[in-house]
Amino acid sequence: MKRFVKTLASLALAFSFGFGMQTYNKFDIYTVYAADDLTLTAKGSSSGTTQANEGKVEVRFTSPYSTLDQAKNAGYTKLIINFNISKYAPKYTDGNIPGIMPFVTGGIGWKNQDVWHSLSDGSSGTVELDFSNLSNNDNGLEFGAQIANVDGDITYDISAKLTGSGSSSGGNSGGGNTSDTINDNNPVELNYAKLLQESLYFYDANMCGSEVDEHSELTWRGDCHTSDSQITYNGKTIDLSGGFHDAGDHVKFGLPGAYSASILGVTYMEYNDAISELGLNEHYKRIMDHFADYFKKCTVRDSSGAVEAFCVQVGDGYSDHSYGGTPENQTGQRPAFFTSAAHPCTDITCETAAALALHYINFGDEESLEYAKALFEYAQNNTKETSSVLSQGFYDTNTYGDDYSFAAAMLYKATSDEKYKNAYSTNNFKEWVLNWENVTPLAVLYAPTDNKDYSTVLRILSSEIPQTNSEGFTSLGGGWGTARFNSTLQFTALLTDKMMGTDNYHTWAEGQMSYILGNNAGKHCFVIGYNDYSVINSHHRAVYGTSNFESGSAPKHLLLGALVGGPGSVSSSFNDSVSNYQETEVALDYNAGLVASAAAHYTYIMEHGTDEEKALQKTVGIKAVTCHGLSTELRTLTDPITGDVNSDGKADSEDVALVLKYVAGEEVNIDKDSADINKNSKVDVMDAVLILKEA
C-alpha cells in the first residue's frame, strides 16, 4: 500500500546506486512516498519437503537490486519472512533448539542482526529483519531465511517481501516508490485509455506508399514515394512501396521498423482484451497489416520459396536528411539496400521474422507465418552478422543474438515446432533497456523453456531504473530520446510483473508516465495533443507542410499521440523547437514503447485500480481533439457507430448529454451525421432518445 509521508519545498539528497556517487541538488517541489511492499522470488523452491543439511535448511530469494544501498535508496529497510514449518525434528540435544532467522547476504557478508524465532514458540508466523542501519555497495545482494538446529525431513512454506520502515528517496525504485505526482504542483489526468487510443495515430502520420489515402486516418497525409514500387534487384523489378517512414524523415529503415512492429505485436498479444474493449481493434489491425504487407514485399524469394535477399532500407539517409519538405512532394527514385549471403543482416531478418510470427499469432495470417519461417531459415543458413555493414552509420548495432532468439521464441509460440525451441540460445545477449538495438528483455521473458528464469530482466530493471535526473525521472540514452527509453522500461517492468504474478513496479511506472504527461517542473507534456501542456514543435517534416520544415514556421497539422524525445537533462530546460531534434524527434520506435506502456497501464488499472482510477479510463472523441489551435483532421475509415456523436468509439450517456446540450442551444462539437439517428435531417430530442435506446 502506498503511504504518503510528506511534501518538501526543497530537498538536497545524495544517493549511491552502486555505480558511483551522484549528488542531486534542490528539488523544487517533491512528493515523497514510502516504498510499496515488494514480493521477492525464491531462487529455488520456497515450499515442500527437503532433507536438512548439517542441521539447517536455507531458502534464498532473488533481489531486484544489486546492492543493499540500492534497495535502501528505493525506500526498503525491512525484510519480512512469513513461514509455516509443519514438520521438523531437533538436530541437537545439548540445549540448542530449532528456530528460524531472516538474513541478508552479498558483499556485506551474512547478516541477521541477531533476529531469532524459536519454533517452540510457534511453527508458523512472521519474522522481520530491519537493515536500515546496514550499508553496502557491493553487488550480489540476496535475502533469505534459515531454519536451524533441525534434522531429517523438513516440510515448510516460506515467502518473503521487502517493505519500507521510513520514507523513500523518490523516483528510483524498481519496487514502485515514485509517486503518482512527481511534482504535485502540476497534477495531470492519467487516462491510459485515451493515451493508448491517441498514440496509434502517429503511425497514420508516418505511413508511406500508394495506399496512404486508404489506410491513414489523417486527411493531411496522402500517397507518397510511389516510385518505391519500381526498385530493381538482380534484373527484377520489385514493389517496395508501403511501410512507414522512420521518424521525422522519410527513410524506411529495417531494424527500427521491424522492432516497432514486434513491440506492437507483443502488446496486442498480451493486451488484446484491452485494445478490443476500447474499440481500437480495427485501427490497430490496419496499422499491423500495413507493416506486414511491407515486410513481405521486402522479402525476395526464389521459385521454391526460399529467401534470396531481404530489403533492409529504402532511401538514402544522408540525402533524405537534407530534404525539408513533405513526403508527398518528395519524388524520384530512391536507392534500396539488400542483404546477401555474405551480409545477411541477421538482426533485421530475425526481428522481421518475429514481427511476422506475431502477426500470425494475433490475427491468424497464414502468409505472415510462411514468410516468418522463410526469413528465419535464411538467417539460420547464412553467416551470422549484424546489419551495421549496410546501415550507412544509421542504426548501427553490435548484437544479433537477441533478435535471433526472440524470433525463435515467437516461431515456437506460433507453431510448437521443437526446432525453434532448439534454435533458441542466450548467446550474444545484451543486458540493457529494451530498444531498437536490444530485445534481450523480450527474448528472456518469452524464452521457450520449461522453467522461466527472470533474473536477467530483473537485473536490467534494477540497474536502469535508478538512473534518474534530479526530478526522479529515469533518464537513459545520454540525453537523446530519454522518454523513448523510459516508456520501454515501464513496459518491461509492467510486463515482468504480469508474467511473474507480482506487483513490484506499477507505482514506479505510474510516476514515470505522470512525468511524461506533464507532471514535471517544466510543465511539459511530451505526448503531442494529450493535454494543454503538450509540446507541439516536433522534428517532423510532414506536419509543417512547407518546403523547409525548420524555417521557424508553426506546424500546420496536429501530430496527435506522438511521443517526442523528452528532456535531455531536466524538464525545465526542455526546448520545444523543431531544430532541437535530440529532444523533439519522433519515431516509430518511440511510439511503440508508448503504445505498449499505455496498454499495460490501462490493463493494470482496470484489474487493480480504485473505482476513481477506473472511471478516468475512457477513450475520447478524436474529431474534437484540439491542441495549440490545431485539430486532428480525420478521415472516416472505421465503420461509424450509430449514436457515437463524440467519435469515442461507443454510443453512451455522454453522447446523449451532448445531443441534449446541442438541442438546448449550447455550443458543443458533435458529429451531426451520427447524431441524426432518425435521418430527418435535423438533430433533436428524439435522436437523444434513440441514442439512449442504442446505448
Q: What's the pLDDT score for residue 653? A: 83
Residues 505 and 571 in one domain: yes
Q: What's the pLDDT score for residue 529? A: 97
Query: Which bin fits 591, alpha (ψ -120 to 50), beta or left (φ > 0)?
Result: alpha
Residue 629 has pLDDT above 90, yes or no: yes
Of 165, 184, 162, the residue nearest 82 (C-alpha): 162
Q: What residues have CB less than 8 Å from 366, skipping those under 6 apart?
A: 360
Give the C-alpha separation, 567 to 332, whole Å: 37
Q: How confident is the model at residue 695 (pLDDT cuts 50, 70, 90)?
A: low
Residue 79 has pLDDT above 90, yes or no: yes
Q: What residues have CB less than 8 Å from 43, skipping those under 6 apart?
A: 60, 61, 62, 142
Residue 188 has pLDDT above 90, yes or no: yes
Q: What residues have CB less than 8 Å from 364, skipping those under 6 apart?
A: none
Q: How confident is the model at residue 178 (pLDDT cuts 50, 70, 90)?
A: very low
556, 589, 608 - which closes a domain:
608
Position of cell 528456530? Answer: 99
- Compute the half-sphere exposure of residue 232: CA atoms within 13 Å on the CB side of its CA: 3
Q: Please report, for the domain that includes residue 485, its CATH number.
A: 1.50.10.10
173 occurs within a structural domain: no
Q: How confident is the model at residue 6 (pLDDT cuts 50, 70, 90)?
A: very low
C-alpha cell at position 57:
535448511
C-alpha cell at position 313:
532500407
Cβ(131)–Cβ(111) under 8 Å?
yes
Q: What is the mean pLDDT of residues 601-614?
A: 96
Residues 63 and 14 in one domain: yes
Q: Please report, for the domain that includes residue 72, its CATH number.
A: 2.60.120
Residue 445 has pLDDT above 50, yes or no: yes
Give the C-alpha separation, 168 to 417, whole Å: 48
Residues 412 and 301 in one domain: yes
C-alpha cell at position 327:
513526403
Q: What is the mean pLDDT of residues 252-269?
A: 98
Q: What is the mean pLDDT of residues 108-125?
A: 86
Cβ(165)–Cβ(132) under 8 Å?
yes
Tens-digit pLDDT profile for residues 345-375:
999 999 999 999 999 999 999 999 999 999 9
**DSSP codes joined into one string, 615-626:** HH-----GGG-E
Q: How confident is the model at residue 502 (pLDDT cuts 50, 70, 90)?
A: very high
Q: What's the pLDDT score for residue 19? A: 30
- Compute the half-sphere exposure of residue 311: CA atoms within 13 Å on the CB side of its CA: 29
Q: What's the pLDDT score for residue 638? A: 60
| Tally of domains within the chain | 3
Give the C-alpha separation, 136 to 142, whole Å: 12
Give the C-alpha separation, 486 to 74, whole Å: 17
Q: How confident is the model at residue 106 (pLDDT cuts 50, 70, 90)?
A: confident
185 occurs within a structural domain: no
Look up the pTM and report it.
Answer: 0.73
Count of other CB atoms within 10 angstroms of residue 518: 24
Percentage with pLDDT > 70 across the chain: 89
Cβ(229)–Cβ(208) under 8 Å?
no
Residues 300 and 396 in one domain: yes
- For residue 534, CA distances in Å to 560, 573, 619 come to 10, 15, 18
Q: What's the pLDDT score for residue 660? A: 87
Of 377, 350, 348, 508, the residue nearest 443 (C-alpha): 350
Q: What residues have CB less than 8 Å from 615, skipping those under 6 apart?
A: none
Residues 525 and 650 in one domain: no
Residues 390 and 455 in one domain: yes
Q: What's the pLDDT score for residue 300? A: 97
**Cα dihedral across residues 261, 265, 421, 444: positive or negative:** positive
Residues 219 and 83 in one domain: no
Q: What's the pLDDT score for residue 42? A: 85
First to last CA, the chain: 37
627 occurs within a structural domain: no
- For residue 149, CA distances in Å to 47, 92, 112 come to 19, 6, 16
DSSP 448: -
Q: What residues have CB less than 8 Å from 165, skipping those under 6 apart?
A: 77, 78, 130, 132
- For residue 160, CA distances in Å to 128, 364, 584 come to 10, 42, 44
Cβ(227)–Cβ(633) under 8 Å?
no
Position of cell 534481450? Answer: 440
Q: What's the pLDDT score for residue 173? A: 34
Residues 401 and 302 in one domain: yes
Percentage with pLDDT > 90 across the chain: 66
Q: How confident is the model at residue 113 (pLDDT cuts 50, 70, 90)?
A: confident
3-state SS class at 362: helix
Give the C-alpha separation, 143 to 20, whole Å: 23
Residue 426 has pLDDT above 80, yes or no: yes
622 occurs within a structural domain: no
**Cα dihedral across residues 141, 147, 151, 152: positive or negative:** negative
Of 327, 354, 364, 372, the residue nearest 257 (C-alpha): 354
236 occurs within a structural domain: yes
Write phi, then psi, for 126 (nearest 5 degrees). -135, 140
Give the C-alpha separation, 439 to 354, whole Å: 11
592, 608, 624 - which closes a domain:
608
Residue 495 has pLDDT above 80, yes or no: yes
Residues 660 and 579 in one domain: no
631 occurs within a structural domain: no
Give the C-alpha separation, 62 to 179, whole Å: 25
Q: Please report, for the domain that includes residue 651, its CATH number.
A: 1.10.1330.10
Residues 249 and 154 in one domain: no
Range of the domain at 662: 640-694
**Mean pLDDT for all residues in the chain:** 87
417 occurs within a structural domain: yes
Residues 442 and 304 in one domain: yes
Residue 381 is inside which H or E element, if any? helix 366-381
Residue 154 has pLDDT above 60, yes or no: yes
630 occurs within a structural domain: no
Tens-digit pLDDT profile for residues 206-223:
999 999 999 999 999 999
Residues 546 and 663 in one domain: no
Q: What residues have CB less than 8 Å from 171, skipping those under 6 apart?
A: 177, 178, 182, 468, 471, 472, 473, 474, 511
Q: What is the mean pLDDT of residues 479-483?
A: 96
- For residue 594, CA distances in Å to 48, 204, 334, 675 come to 42, 15, 31, 33
